[in-house]
Every structure is written in C-alpha cells, then in structure tokens.
Chains A and B, each alone.
Chain A
Amino acid sequence: MEFDPGSFRDRSSRVLIREGRVFRAMDAESLASWRRASAQPFVQQMVSQGQIVGTGEVPAKECAALGLPSSAAGVLEHTRIPFISYPYEWSFAMLRDAALLHLRLLTESLRAGLILKDASPYNVQFSGKQPVFIDIGSFTGHSPGEPWLAYRQFCELMLFPLLLQAYRGVHFQPILRGELEGISARQFLQWLRWRDVFRPGVFTHGLLQAKLEQQTQALSTSTVRDLQFSGFKTSLIERLLRKLTRLVERLEWLPRRTQWTNYDNSLPHVAEDRQSKSTFVRNVCHFRPRDLVWDLGCNDGRYSIIARERATTVVAMDYDHACIDRLYRSADSPNVLPLCMNLANPSPAMGWRGRERKRIEDRGQPQLILCLGLIHHLVIAANIPLAEVVDWLASFRAEVILEFPSKKDPMVQALLRNKRDQYEDYSRESLEAELCRHFEIRLSESLPSGERTLYHTVPVRSSTGA
C-alpha cells in the first residue's frame, strides 16, 4: 500500500491517491474526531465557503473495490486541489492569509471543544486565490486544561517568516525552502536589529520564547501534564489566539519598487507591443478551454488574466515577489494561482528521500504554457543554453506561446551591456531550428516594435488543434 510520500508524519491519518482521487485513511480516534468536527456548524460553513477542503466518507464496499487500506477505521475522500503549492513559493500576503485561516479555525474549534493537532502552513493549499485547509486529520478533541501544543510550530513556520519580511524586508521563501521545519526563535532574533525588539510580536513571541526554550531544556517531567495540574485553562489559549490574530492582521509588507513592478510603462516597446500581444494570446487561449495553463515570467499577470477566461486554473510564476504579491491581492483573478518562482532554479523535489515535496514539473500537466518576455532572461541573464530552454519547454508536451526578443531589442541590449556576448546560439534562426525539433510552429507574428516575435507552437505528434 503506497501512501503519498509527503504524508507520513502523523500516523493517525495518511493520504493516498488512487485513480486521480485523493483519499485519507484514518484511525479510529481521528475518524471520531472528524465526525465530531464535521457536525459543527462552523466546519460546515467553512466547507461551503471553500475554506476547508470538501470531504466525504467512502463506503466500505467502495474502499474494497478501490483497494484502499482495510486496516483503517475509515477512509475519507477529498476534493482535489487543482495545483499543489508550498509555503516557500507563496507571497507575503498568501502566507499571511494561510496563517489567519489557521487562527480562525483554531478559535472556532476551541469553542466546540476541539483543537488542531498541528499548525503547519503545509496544511493549507490554494485553490486559485482561495486558501483551503486540507489536513482534516488534524482535528482532535481538546482535553481540559491542555495547552496549545502547536504554538511553537505556528511561530516557526508562519509567524516568524511573516515578521521577518514585514519588519526587515527579508524574503522568507528561500529560508523556508532550505528549512522545511521553519525558523526557530533563536534564528529569528539573529535577523533583527536591537530596536526591532520593540515592534509588535517580537518581544513576546520571539525573545521570550527563545529565552524560555533555553531555560526549560533541563525539565525532566512532562510540561503538558504539569501545566494541566497547575490549572491551565482554555481561555489562556483563546486570549493568545486573539492577540496573534490581531498581530498577523496588521502585518504588512511594502516592497520597494523594482524594475518589474511598473514594467508595462517603463519601456517604449512594451506599451507599443501590448495590444498585439494581448490579441495574439487571447486568440490562442480562447480557441478551446484548458484545465491548466502556466504563465512563466507573468510579471503583473496581464496575460494570466486573459488565459484564465478559458482555463480552469492558471499558475502564474515570476521571480519578482512584489509582482506576485500584487497579483494575488488583485480582485481580477480568482482562478489564477500566483507563485514566487525563479525559473532558472525552480522548486526541486525536497524533504525525506527527496519525495516529500514535489518539484514543480511533477505537480501537474499544463495544456498551454505562456513564455512571454522570459527567454532572454534565461539565456542571457542566467546563461542557460537556448537549446536547453526549448528542450525544457518541450518536456511538458504542451502548447507554448513564446516571445523572442532579438539582440537589438532594448531589454536584451540592457542585459548585454556589461557582459561578453557569448550567446551565439541566441538568434531567431537558432530558436526556430530548436523549436522545429520538438514543435510545429502554428503561428508566428512580429510585434510592432520590430524586434520581438511571437510564436504559437504545438508539440509534434500531438492531436491538439489550434
């Protein structure tokens, strides 16, 4: 029986995928907790609003037919999330919304005599722009006087990353990619200046916590049991949750202007070509509906928004965190999932045995890829050979809309200004030769500025039309 490689830390409930469907095998206690939780009005409301993943119990006969584990007390089936993403790919606002969802769930759960076992942002996914709580197995009964066991985990994986970015402008994504368990209180303090101690949340959740962790290492008895015996009350957790909610709600990240945040108005050729590009992209995207579209190097998401009109899900990726954060906050794009991604170094497979968190290429098969204003950055700025870029695009077996700026284009000139021009492979002729090895070029169009060409390509030996 093969469970999902990322579902092993909590043995009481484990996820498995069968025939494209998502199931969760539960032990008796977890199943009882879920049944109790699912009867609560707040859970039913949050499921209907899409904030908790749709869940139903699978009848025993169907479990046997699907070969699901017979040793489990019960099996649940979940609504499938269109595209899996991880906290180290989220923008600031996305992680903040995931944290607020967690806090709200905890607050409501405590009122119903329940609690969540853990507080990890990996328990949240995004369906388009909607954060969705997926770890149904986390619901459990709350014992009288029991403290919130996951408080430290909440701080390390959600609060400290948010505080770092809000107060110091330090992007948390590379840190969380390197440290899947999060940022400890001690590490968090090392990033701060002395005057940051006076900023909301730092003294209490950072400094005090680090000190207490150090001082209590030598305790030999169970602190959980001792606190219960000392009269610990649920109201203490409720008070803490209220404070955390207020703190997280007020956190803001105001990024400095980057060269990409106002890209559309920054260079003459961009404004000139915008209308032609939009028409080209719209014509291809609207020809037929698609389940999954990727927009690589999406910038402000202008073309993602065009693509989403005839796509179930659009995943918009860009290296610029400010652009991604702005795209997430905009109301125009409910089924667009923006992700922070350096496409020259995309998210690899990570975690235990390199299988716990999937690499970006293994999380879904796009039917269409937009590669607009990107290829020159990969080839000239990141020094990736043109043939390898095209080969990588071809590996997805998807249609591609690709924009190629020649070496005379102002942006390419800017990239080459202080570099030796070693890019003999960077030419329209070379590109078309590489494209023809993997694709059929259905359409090409020169843009008004004169130095950029759009291509619509279809994988060879594909039965798709255009």
Chain B
Amino acid sequence: MSDSAACLANLQEAVNFGSLSQVDANAVQLFLNRKGRQMSPLLAYFDPSAGSLLLQALVGGFGGLVVVGRFLWMQFFGAK
C-alpha cells in the first residue's frame, strides 16, 4: 500500500476510534494536499456534478445542513 493510502487509512481509523474529529481529519488531508502530498481525494473518471454532491449533504439532516452552510460560507466569504 502506498504511503498516502496508508496515511488515509490511519486518518480514517483515528476518526472511527474517536481520537480525531471528522473535521480535523479533513483539514489534515487538505493541508497535506496543499503541501503537494499525494493525498488528493479520489476523483472519478466521470463528472459527478457539483449539484449532486451538494444534494448528498442537503438530504443528510441537520448535520448535512451544517456542512452545506460551511460550504456556502466558503464560496462567498472564504479564501480561494
């Protein structure tokens, strides 16, 4: 297994065990992305459509609405 895949697996294990929050795990991954490490998320061979991705969060109840709220905040006010 590659270093990046092992790192991802370790991050997920930490989230599952409860020692790391999902938000922190995501932030770590994105930090490493920006540092050029090969931890970019899987991107499909087809276009998943931004709208469909957002919809998954929208139908996810209150937790999903919070995610959408953060997402919209980032789009309008966050650094790009």
A interface, CB within 8 angstroms of B: 9-11, 28-29, 32, 113, 115, 117-118, 140-153, 155, 204-205, 208-217, 219-221, 223-233, 235-237, 239-240, 243
Is the pair B57, A227 in contact by a Cβ cutoff of 8 Å?
A: yes
Bound-complex Cα distance A233 to B56 (A): 10
Measured between beta carbons, the chain A residues less than 8 angstroms from B51 are 209-216
Measured between beta carbons, the chain A residues less than 8 angstroms from B59 are 204, 239-240, 243
B interface, CB within 8 angstroms of A: 1-2, 5, 8-9, 11-12, 15, 22-23, 25-27, 29-30, 33, 39-46, 48-61, 63-64, 66-68, 70-71, 74-75, 80
Is the pair B29, A150 in contact by a Cβ cutoff of 8 Å?
A: no
A202 CB to closest chain B CB (Å) equals 13
Provide 5 A-B residue pairs closer than 8 Å at the C-beta atoms, listed in order of the A residue: A115-B42, A141-B9, A212-B55, A224-B48, A233-B67
Is the pair A236, B30 in contact by a Cβ cutoff of 8 Å?
A: no
Measured between beta carbons, the chain A residues less than 8 angstroms from B55 are 151, 204-205, 208-209, 212
Contact of B27 among A28, A212, A229 (CB under 8 A): A229
Is the pair A231, B52 in contact by a Cβ cutoff of 8 Å?
A: no
Known: A209-B55, A232-B67, A236-B57. A113 touches B48 (CB 8 A): no
- Which has the most chain A C-beta neighbours within 10 Å: B40, B56, B59? B56
Bound-complex Cα distance A144 to B11 (A): 7
Contact of A213 among B9, B52, B61 (CB under 8 A): B52
Closest partner residue, chain A, to B31 (CB atom): A229
Is the pair B53, A227 in contact by a Cβ cutoff of 8 Å?
A: yes
Closest partner residue, chain A, to B64 (CB atom): A236
Closest partner residue, chain B, to A224 (CB atom): B41
A34 CB to closest chain B CB (Å) equals 12
Measured between beta carbons, the chain B residues less than 8 angstroms from A115 are 42
- Which has the most chain B C-beta neighbours within 10 Å: A144, A149, A240, A243? A144
Measured between beta carbons, the chain B residues less than 8 angstroms from A214 are 51
Contact of A117 among B45, B49, B57 (CB under 8 A): B45
Is the pair A225, B33 in contact by a Cβ cutoff of 8 Å?
A: yes
Closest partner residue, chain B, to A208 (CB atom): B55
Is the pair A212, B52 in contact by a Cβ cutoff of 8 Å?
A: yes
Known: A117-B45, A140-B42. A228 touches B53 (CB 8 A): no
**What are the 8 tightest A-B residue pairs by CB atom distance, in nearest-first order?**
A212-B51, A236-B60, A213-B51, A152-B52, A216-B50, A230-B70, A223-B50, A145-B26
Closest partner residue, chain A, to B72 (CB atom): A230
Bound-complex Cα distance A235 to B68 (A): 15
Known: A32-B1, A144-B26, A146-B42. A233 touches B53 (CB 8 A): no
